[in-house]
Amino acid sequence: MRRRVRQARDEGTNLTFLGANTMYWGVRVESLNSEPLVVGYRADADVDPVGPRQQTGRFRDISPAESENTLTGMQYECFPVDAPYRVDSPGWWGFRGTHARYGATYDHIVWVEADRAYPLRTTPGNLQVLSYATYSCNGVRTVTNSSYYTAPSGAGVFDAGTLRWSCALRGRCPPWNLPRRTVDFVQQVTRKVLEVFARGPAGRTHPAHGNVARFHLPAANLVPSS
C-alpha cells in the first residue's frame, strides 16, 4: 500500500493527509486457522522473527528504514495533545479566502495526535511549514505544524498534521462543537486544496517555498510519542 502511494506521488498524483500519525506502523497479514491475522511488532521490529522484506514495526525501524516524512512531509510527534492551530504562512495559496492573518489561532484543532516538521535529510527539501504552535506533550515542550511540499513529479502534498482536521470538517468534534469560525477555516482550506489538486500536479502552478530552516525544530523527538 505504501509503495503504491509513493508511486502515485512520483507519477504526479497529489496527496492530501487530513489527519496525523500517518504511515507510522508497518504490518503484514498472515493466516490463523484460515482467518486473516494482522501482525505488527510496533516498537519491537528487531524481534520480529521474519526476514527484512516481511518485518513489521515502525517504518523508521524496518530495514530499509523509511520514516513517514519521506511521503507525508512530517513525522508523528505526540499523543495526547490539545493545542491551537496557529497560522504562520498566511500567504500560502491554500489559505486564500480564509482571511487568516499571521498568528491567527483556531482553538482545539490540534487534538489527540499531532505531527511536526523535522530538519532531517529525509524531509523534502522544499517543505513549507504552514502553521506553528507550541504546546506541552506529557510535560515536554514541543511544536505542532501543518505543511506542504511539491515533489519532482509536480505532485503537491498537504499534511494537516492533526487528527482532528477531518472531524472539524463536520463541525462536531466531541467533546466540543467547534466555533463556526474554526469550522469555516478548516472547510475553506480543504476546499481550496481539493480544487487545486483536482486540476493535476499542483507543483506546476503552486510550487512549495521551503522554510523549515526558519523555525526552531529539534532534529530528534524529545517527547514520548507512542
Question: Mind giving me the DSSP string for 156-200?
Answer: EEEE--BTTHHHHTTTEETTEE--HHHHHHHHHHHHHHHHHHTTS
Same domain, 75 and 165: yes
pLDDT for position 114? 97
State in Å, rounded, how far the first CA of the chain is from the last one.
Answer: 23
Number of domains in the chain: 2
Residues 88, 147, single domain; the answer is yes
CA count, 13 A, side-chain hemisphere, 88: 20
Q: Looking at residue 53, what is its pLDDT?
A: 77
Are residues 59 and 92 both part of a single domain?
A: no
Handedness of CA 98, 101, 107, 108 (dihedral sign): positive
**Domain span at residue 186?**
2-23+68-214
The set of cell numbers assigned to 74 is: 512530517
Write out the H or E segment, with its range, that includes residue 3: helix 2-10
Question: Do 95 and 42 share a domain, yes or no?
Answer: no
Same domain? 90 vs 170:
yes
Task: Using DSSP, state whether 139 is helix, strand or coil.
Answer: coil
Question: CA angle 199-201-202, nearest 5°?
Answer: 80
* Domain-embedded: residue 219: no
Give the pLDDT of residue 172.
Answer: 83
Q: Are residues 129 and 188 in the same domain?
A: yes
154 and 174 housed in the same domain = yes
**Same-domain pairing of 125 and 87:** yes
Residues 6 and 87 grouped into a single domain? yes
Cα 100 to Cα 104, 170, 212, distances in angstroms = 6, 20, 21
Q: Identify whether 192 is part of a domain.
A: yes
Helices then strands, counting H and E runs in the chain, come out as: 4, 14
Residues 44 and 120 in one domain: no
Closest C-alpha among 146, 118, 131 to residue 89: 131
> pLDDT below 70 — which residues of the chain?
225-226
Nearest-angstrom CA–CA distance, 125 and 207: 12
Same domain, 45 and 87: no
Within-domain flag for 86: yes
β-strands 15-17, 156-159: how paired? parallel
Query: pLDDT tens across 97-142, in order?
Result: 999 999 999 988 999 999 999 999 999 999 999 999 999 999 999 9
Contact indicator for 93, 192 with CB cutoff of 8 Å: yes
